Structure formats: structure tokens, C-alpha cells
Chain A
């Protein structure tokens, strides 16, 4: 009974944040702010769903196997976001209109060459 409750909570957290990530990607103004929604909510959504799964089966082997994707997502999601936003930056995509600060231009620092 309590286990069901926990499964529900974790599934709800996972699904809710995944849904919000989708909304965020639609609503935010430029590629950089969209990456915010994509990375953070994505990792938490995956973690929530997988934790719910390991509670559902309540088995060590499955838990260990469910923990691995969480760790991999934690490692790879920021790297992917970094790559996307960096390549966007390199190809000269501007920040959205309501951005308040861009210290990159101010410092007159050349972007690292690739």
C-alpha cells in the first residue's frame, strides 16, 4: 500500500517534470533558455520514472540496473546541453531580446577555436 503510494509519487514527479520540459521548450524565447528546460527537467524526469520502476519491482538486480541509466543521464545530459548551446553560440545565434547581459562581447574575448 505504502509502496504503491511511493510509486505513484515518483511516477508523478517524473511525468510532471517531463511534461514541463516539453512546455518549456515550446515557450522559452531562444535556444539557450530552451536548453535550461531540456537538461534539468529531463534528468529529474528520467530519475523519477526509474526510481518508481525500481520500487515497483523491489529487486536488487533491477534496482542496480535502473540506477545505471540515472548515472549516465546525469553525466551525459549536461554535456549534450553544453554541446548544443556551444555550437549555437559558435554559429552566431543571438540571445533573445529580453536578455539583460552578455559579458562575452564585453570582454572582447575570442571564442575558443575549433
Chain B
């Protein structure tokens, strides 16, 4: 159902672009927004496709913000006269089971502040994360759960 709606949305945006005559990226994006509202009126809010699209966009913006933050953090650490990094490897229990979800999650971990995915246990249950500041592992795990795992979980569900 979700993928059908997504395809319908893409189709509507392409139709919009063809009718208006310019096949530019901005126009297709505008068509996507228009198609989104049309589908939103036809199907009611009960299908979670509409929520999901909004969540994906929110997560994308949040991700760009996190990427900036992580860069600033590394930059400060690089420029510090006496480095005070306390690196370490922590074991993070995974909630995802699907390989694709795990891959995406590990990718996002690598790009967000202070963390880098190193290895995964054989049964795909534990992800080993190298952290730049690991003097408080519990807080770090909670941060990862709040910033990444919960939003991703909502999107995948």
C-alpha cells in the first residue's frame, strides 16, 4: 500500500512536470508536493504513508544538522592544543533485524557526532561503535537511541 502510494505520487509529479512543460528538478519537486496533497485529500490520514514522508523529510534535515555538528566537534578536537579526546569502543545492542536497516543505521552512526561503526557481532545483534568521547558510555548510548534509532524505527515500521 505504501509503495503504491509512493509510485502514484511520483507519477503525479511527472505528469505535473510534463503538463507544465519544463522538466526541471524544482518543477518535479513542486509536482511531488502537489501530488502529495492530492493523495492526502483522496486517502485520509489513516494510511501512515503521509506521516512517513513527513518523517523522512524531518529526519533528512536533522541529519544535515547532525553532520554539521559532528564536523564542528572534530574540528574543535583537531585544533585543540592538547587533545583531550577519550576514545573507546562501546557495544551497542541493535534493535533492527533487517540487514538493510542495519546497514543504514551503521552508515548514519558513522556520519553523526563522535561515533564510527567498527564491527558487528556474528548474530547481528551487537554493533561495536568507536566513539571519540567515550568517558560516559551510558549517556552516549542514550543519545544514539534518541537521535537515530527512534526516528529510524518510525520510518522503517
Contacts and interface: CB of A to CB of B under 8 A. Distances in A.
A and B part of one assembly:
yes
Interface of A: 17, 20-21, 23-24, 27-30, 32-33, 35-37, 39-41, 43-44, 60, 63-64, 74-75, 77-79, 81-82, 85-86, 89, 95-96, 98-104, 106-107, 109-113
Nearest to B117: A82
Contact of A103 (B70, B90, B110, B114): B90
Interface string B100-118: 0000001111110010111
Interface of B: 24-26, 67-68, 70-71, 74-75, 77-79, 83, 85-91, 106-111, 114, 116-122, 126, 128, 130, 132, 134-135, 137
B67 A44 contact: yes
Given A44-B67, A100-B86, A32 B134 contact: no
Task: Give the dominant DSSP class at A's interface.
Answer: helix
B85 A78 contact: no
Nearest to B76: A20
A107 B122 CA distance: 13
Contacts of A36: 74, 114, 116, 130, 132
A71 to B, nearest CB: 12
A88 to B, nearest CB: 9
Given A20-B79, A32-B130, A85 B91 contact: no
A21 B70 CA distance: 12
Contact of B128 (A44, A77, A100, A103): A103
A78 B74 contact: no
